[in-house]
Amino acid sequence: MAAVEMTVISPRHVGLYLTKIAKAAPGERPQNVEALLGALAQGIPNAPQPHYDGERRQWRLAGILEVTGVERDAALDFLQSTSSAVKLRLPDKELLDRTLEESEALDAIGGGPNYVPSFYGDYLNKTPRAPTNTEFLYSRIADYVFSSCR
């Protein structure tokens, strides 16, 4: 089975929508990836429509979010802790194994790419692209929810 990889291209938009989902009643949440991307697109002015590429097994909302390694009708399952049940979101084993191998190889040669999304550096270093505090929070939420261990 191929690893599921989730790539957040616009953390601010994705995090804002995830905030709404987290506050919604479970029955009001999207039930599959297609519905998730469709609802996300509705909240973004001039957003494209979600598209499924069967050959790549990828749902894509261009410039916003990509979910690769999934079937067209892939269901969603939300994990949200309560005081009586703590739920942990574990990384995909296959993707974790591959990323560990890549990281260990980079460590062996003394460097390589940084696996931290750029908005962290922009915010901490106050670059011209730095998000506001609220945008940073939304971006962190998107990173937390969709992080794919790479």
- Which residues constitute the domain of residue 70? 5-146
- Do the beta carbons of residue 65 and residue 37 sit within 8 Å? yes
Please indicate, yes or no, whether the overall pTM of this predicted structure exceeds 0.75.
yes
What DSSP character marks residue 2?
P
Q: What is the C-alpha to C-alpha distance for residues 55 and 77, in angstroms, rounded to an integer?
A: 24
Would you say 44 and 64 are in contact if contact means Cβ atoms under 8 Å apart?
yes
The tally of domains found in the chain comes to 1
Q: What is the pLDDT along the chain (150 residues), one digit of tens a residue?
A: 578 899 999 999 999 999 999 999 999 999 999 999 999 999 999 999 999 999 999 999 999 999 999 999 999 999 999 999 999 888 888 888 988 998 899 899 988 776 788 999 999 999 999 999 999 999 999 999 988 766
